[in-house]
């Protein structure tokens, strides 16, 4: 199975360790075998070990180490934010964040909703089973 | 004792740093006006003879000397402060009880009593918890609040909840077996009425919120994967 996501200039990655945990950053340069220069619209450009990054499918079109303004414009052009929020990975993260902030009443209502949904699914399944059996 | 001044006196000699005043001894002499007092009194500082003391009653020798020297305990003037109520607990908050017969029940907070305990009610019809006192330490406060404006909890205080004095019964052998069958104490009717009155207005506000009634009826428990230090209540 060949690799599909490469470390390259313009690759969008998710930070998975450290102070900037959970942020989307763009690789703007490679320092050496282990580290990349990384930049995002709301942070100071800094180096990060590749082990702290998880590559995503999203790539933007930039030159090596662009100015901040150029970077922001390129991200807008590639529509990184919407692509991320609509991807299944991005949507899962958003749901995780929302669930972490639920209070006790919220968790209770979530449980009721899950039970209701499962009941409806089971009903439809039973109907389908009856049709194929008949 | 001289008469007290209306405002406490401020020193005329401010500190430059701790231990070092701004003015020297001679300057302070002048500032305090000791020269004026002396001038009024003809060059000498006025001196008053000691006031005659009122005659004190003659002390009689004590009638009784105790055999051993017993130390008197030190005087304790400490006044305990009223228990501080956590900021997250306000009237109408839903609390989760953590210990006791109603462990895990979600319950509505009414007010804090003078003893520091929290007055709490189920409501009784929803989860079987009556008007009850509960300690703040055995409670988790959730962020869910209920409108409690229709409830009048003024008549409930610590005296309402104390047990009546149990009469001691003498037991001899024959009565021992009969005494075991003591009938259970019945709850007086007026306490049941109080419960109904308090719960009536609460039930109306509870039914206004969808799912709240089922929420209060259910017990809280930790499920697999729930980390209490990460949960938001």
Residue B129 has pLDDT above 80, yes or no: yes
Residue B169 has pLDDT above 70, yes or no: no
Is-contact B122 B206, C-beta < 8 A?
Answer: no
Helix (H) / strand (E) containing B213: helix B212-217
CA dist., res. A48 & res. A60, Å (int): 19
Label each residue of A35-99 as H, E or C: EEEEEECCEEEEEEEHHHEEEEEEECCCCCCCCHHHHHHHHHHHCHHHHHHHCHHHHHHHHHHHH
pLDDT of B95-127, one tens digit each?
Answer: 999 999 999 999 999 999 988 999 999 899 999
Angle at B192 between CA B191 and CA B196, to 5 degrees: 115
Of B96, B211, B230, the CB nearest to A109: B211
Whether the CB of B224 is below 8 Å from some CB of chain A: the reply is no
pLDDT of B42-75, one tens digit each?
Answer: 888 888 888 888 877 778 888 888 788 888 888 8
Q: Which residue has the tokens 């990975």?
A: A89
Of A103, A108, A109, the CB nearest to B232: A103
**Residue range A100-122: mean pLDDT, rounded:** 95
User: Which alpha helices (DSSP H) does B12-165 contain, by range?
Assistant: 25-32, 34-40, 124-127, 158-161
Helix (H) / strand (E) containing A113: helix A104-133
Neighbours of B161 (CB within 10 A): 15
**Residue range B13-20: mean pLDDT, rounded:** 91
* Contact state of B142 with A108 under an 8 Å Cβ cutoff: no
**Can you say whether residue B60 is alpha, beta or left, with left for phi > 0 and alpha for psi between -120 and 50 degrees?**
beta
Predicted ipTM of the assembly: 0.77
Burial class (CB in 10 A: 0-12, 13-18, 19+), B73: exposed
CA dist., res. B89 & res. B134, Å (int): 13
Q: What's the pLDDT score for residue B176?
A: 54
Q: What is the end-to-end Cα distance of chain A in Å, rounded? A: 45
């Amino acid at each position: 199975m060949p690799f599909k996501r490469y470390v390259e200039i313009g690759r969008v990655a998710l930070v998975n360790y450290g102070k900037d945990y959970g942020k989307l950053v763009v690789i703007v340069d490679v320092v050496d075998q282990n580290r990349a220069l990384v930049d995002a619209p709301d942070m100071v450009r800094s180096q990060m070990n590749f082990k702290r990054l998880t590559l995503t499918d999203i790539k933007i079109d930039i030159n090596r180490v662009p100015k901040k303004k150029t970077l922001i414009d390129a991200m807008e052009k590639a529509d990184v934010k919407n692509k991320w929020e609509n991807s299944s990975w991005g949507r899962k993260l958003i749901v995780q964040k929302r669930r972490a902030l639920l209070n006790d009443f919220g968790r209770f209502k979530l449980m009721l909703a899950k039970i209701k949904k499962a009941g409806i699914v089971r009903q439809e399944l039973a109907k389908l089973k009856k049709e194929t059996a008949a | 004792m001289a008469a007290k001044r209306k405002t406490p006196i401020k020193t005329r000699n401010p500190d430059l740093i701790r231990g070092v005043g701004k003015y020297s001894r001679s300057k302070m002499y002048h500032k305090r006006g000791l020269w004026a007092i002396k001038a009024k009194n003809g060059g000498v500082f006025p001196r008053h003879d000691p006031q005659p003391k009122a005659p004190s009653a003659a002390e009689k020798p004590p009638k009784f000397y105790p055999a051993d020297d017993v130390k008197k305990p030190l005087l304790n003037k400490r006044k305990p402060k009223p228990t501080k109520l956590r900021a997250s607990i306000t009237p109408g908050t839903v609390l989760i009880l953590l210990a006791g017969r109603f462990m895990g029940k979600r319950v509505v907070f009414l007010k804090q009593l003078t003893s520091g305990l929290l007055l709490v009610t189920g409501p009784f019809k929803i989860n079987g918890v009556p008007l009850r006192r509960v300690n703040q330490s055995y409670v988790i406060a959730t962020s869910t609040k209920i409108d409690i404006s229709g409830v009048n909890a003024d008549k409930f205080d610590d005296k309402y909840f104390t047990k009546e004095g149990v009469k001691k019964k003498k037991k001899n052998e024959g009565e021992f077996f009969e005494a075991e069958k003591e009938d259970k104490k019945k709850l007086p009717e007026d306490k049941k009425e109080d419960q109904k009155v308090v719960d009536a207005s609460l039930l109306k506000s509870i039914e206004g919120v969808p799912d709240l009634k089922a929420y209060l009826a259910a017990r809280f428990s930790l499920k697999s994967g729930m980390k209490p230090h990460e949960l938001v209540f």
